[in-house]
């Protein structure tokens, strides 16, 4: 009741099926042998199952079988198979029509079409912007003195998660690793936007995961698997139970490829967020985006100590974070 077929194979005679496969030796009544080759060597199907009662299968499932085809290569049906959409596997070395007579052997092959994985952490979810600063596009003054309108790249979520947003299931002591990446987008006028991204993970809420289960028909209550396979943030969990983490991507968009400065800002913002802070994180964002000047090309560097306001100089405290260095090379400087 809780299992589904993920693969088929062909087994001859008394040969053992591949590991993890079950040979179908009898028909449904158990009264007859399930030999599918009456005129030759005994031939049986072997089935591989995946069981949803296994907790790991809730998060990651094997590819299910969407369709099964019988193919006669001698009749040109391999070419027909190649014209059908989807991922196909032709079992070329598993003839199901072996004959005891050499002159009467027309191969009959099995072809499988595989479907997508459907575990909770296999589903590619759509990315969307949850918040941004500033909330509206704005006009800024460039270092060369010209005015320029800053337009938010609407395709940014797709670039942040090009294969879709995917959840991660791990125990509560194995927090997913924080990663960074760089992106360049181009608008309709050929202008580039340079983006630094920091991908981090937070425990998904119980409501959001249950909503996904309903949307993708993965409500485990319809299976006799009991409860406790899904664990959410805020519950009392044991060491063996899993937590579902959802990715979030922090981005800084710039007209200039100052990736090192942008990534350092994001990492320091994340570092500050890990402990209690008397200053809202939004204040650091607005300070960096709206009030930190970018020097003209070739001018002196600007050093920003993001945690300077948190340091008590009179008490002898010093900044624990490296300065964020903002600098544009001279327009006459040779390329690096």
**Alpha carbon separation from 171 to 165, 246, 250 (Å, rounded):** 20, 14, 24
Query: Are 137 and 161 contained in the same domain?
Result: yes
Q: pLDDT digit string (tens) for 245-254?
A: 999 999 999 9
The mean pLDDT value for 133-142 works out to 81
pTM, rounded to two decimals: 0.70
Q: Which of 215, 232, 255 is the last residue of a domain?
A: 255
Q: Would the pLDDT of 166 be above 80?
A: yes
- What integer pLDDT is reported at residue 271 of this predicted model? 92
Q: pLDDT digit string (tens) for 205-223?
A: 888 887 877 765 544 444 4
Q: How many domains, in total, are found in the chain?
A: 3
- What integer pLDDT is reported at residue 238 of this predicted model? 44
Q: Are 308 and 319 in contact (CB under 8 A)?
A: yes
For the chain, give the mean pLDDT: 82
Q: Would the pLDDT of 5 be above 90?
A: no
Query: Are 89 and 175 contained in the same domain?
Result: no
Distance of alpha carbon 250 from alpha carbon 181, whole angstroms: 11
Q: Would the pLDDT of 293 be above 80?
A: yes
Q: Which of 115, 131, 157 is the last residue of a domain?
A: 115
Is the pLDDT higher at 158 or at 312?
Answer: 158
- What integer pLDDT is reported at residue 285 of this predicted model? 94
Across the strands, what pairs with 169?
Answer: 244
Among 97-111, 127-141, 183-197, the minimum mean pLDDT is found in 97-111
Q: Label residue 298 left, alpha or beta by phi (over 0 means left) and psi (-120 to 50 means alpha).
A: left
Query: Are 282 and 209 contained in the same domain?
Result: no
Q: Would the pLDDT of 100 be above 90?
A: no
Share of the chain above pLDDT 90, in %: 34
Distance of alpha carbon 196 from alpha carbon 183, whole angstroms: 6
- What integer pLDDT is reported at residue 31 of this predicted model? 92
Q: Would the pLDDT of 278 be above 50?
A: yes
Q: Would the pLDDT of 224 be above 60?
A: no
Residues in the chain: 336
Band (pLDDT 50/70/90 cuts) for residue 260 is very high
Q: Is residue 233 part of a domain?
A: no
Query: Are 53 and 157 contained in the same domain?
Result: no
Share of the chain above pLDDT 70, in %: 85
Q: Is residue 53 part of a domain?
A: yes
- What integer pLDDT is reported at residue 118 of this predicted model? 74
Burial 60-98 (b: 16+ CB within 10 A, else e): ebbbebeeeeebebeeebeeeeeeeeeebebeeebbbbb
**205: Cβ contacts below 8 Å, ≥ 6 apart:** 232, 233
**Alpha carbon separation from 39 to 8, 16, 100, 102, 334 (Å, rounded):** 22, 21, 7, 12, 79
Q: Which of 97, 115, 133 is the last residue of a domain?
A: 115
Q: Would the pLDDT of 117 be above 60?
A: yes
Q: Is residue 231 part of a domain?
A: no
Query: Are 265 and 251 contained in the same domain?
Result: no
Q: Is residue 209 part of a domain?
A: yes
Domain that holds residue 139: 119-224+240-255
- What integer pLDDT is reported at residue 57 of this predicted model? 67
- What integer pLDDT is reported at residue 258 of this predicted model? 93
Query: Are 137 and 203 contained in the same domain?
Result: yes
Query: Are 133 and 246 contained in the same domain?
Result: yes
Distance of alpha carbon 37 from alpha carbon 35, whole angstroms: 6
Report strand pairing: 21-23 vs 43-51. Answer: antiparallel
3 state SS of 285: helix
């Amino acid at each position: 009741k809780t299992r589904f077929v993920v693969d088929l194979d062909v087994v001859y005679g008394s040969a053992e099926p591949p590991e993890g496969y079950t040979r179908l030796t009898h028909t449904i009544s158990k009264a007859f042998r399930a030999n599918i080759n009456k005129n030759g060597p005994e031939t049986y199907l072997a089935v591989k199952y995946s069981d949803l009662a296994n907790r790991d299968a809730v998060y990651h499932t094997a590819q299910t079988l969407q369709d099964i085809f019988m193919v006669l290569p001698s009749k040109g049906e391999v070419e027909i198979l190649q014209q059908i959409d989807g991922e196909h596997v032709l079992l070329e070395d598993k003839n199901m029509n072996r004959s005891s007579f050499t002159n009467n052997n027309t191969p009959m092959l099995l072809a499988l079409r595989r479907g997508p994985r459907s575990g909770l952490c296999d589903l590619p979810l759509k990315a969307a912007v949850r918040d941004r600063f500033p909330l509206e596009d704005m006009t800024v003054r460039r270092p060369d003195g010209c005015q320029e309108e800053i337009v938010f790249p609407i395709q940014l979520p797709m670039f942040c998660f090009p294969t879709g947003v995917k959840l991660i299931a791990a125990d509560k002591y194995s927090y997913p690793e924080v990663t960074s990446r760089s992106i360049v987008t181009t608008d309709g006028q050929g202008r580039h936007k340079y983006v630094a991204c920091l991908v981090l993970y937070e425990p998904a809420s119980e409501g959001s995961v249950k909503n996904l289960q309903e949307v993708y028909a993965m409500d485990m209550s319809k299976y006799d698997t009991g409860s406790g396979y899904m664990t959410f943030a805020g519950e009392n969990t044991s060491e063996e139970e899993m937590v579902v983490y959802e990715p979030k991507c922090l981005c800084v968009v710039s007209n200039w490829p100052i990736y090192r400065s942008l990534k350092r800002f994001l990492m320091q913002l994340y570092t500050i967020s890990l402990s209690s802070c008397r200053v809202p994180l939004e204040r650091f964002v607005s300070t960096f985006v709206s009030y930190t000047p970018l020097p003209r090309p070739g001018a002196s560097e600007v050093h920003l100590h993001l945690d300077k306001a948190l340091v008590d100089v009179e008490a002898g405290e010093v900044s624990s974070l490296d300065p964020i260095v903002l600098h544009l090379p001279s327009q006459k400087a040779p390329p690096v």
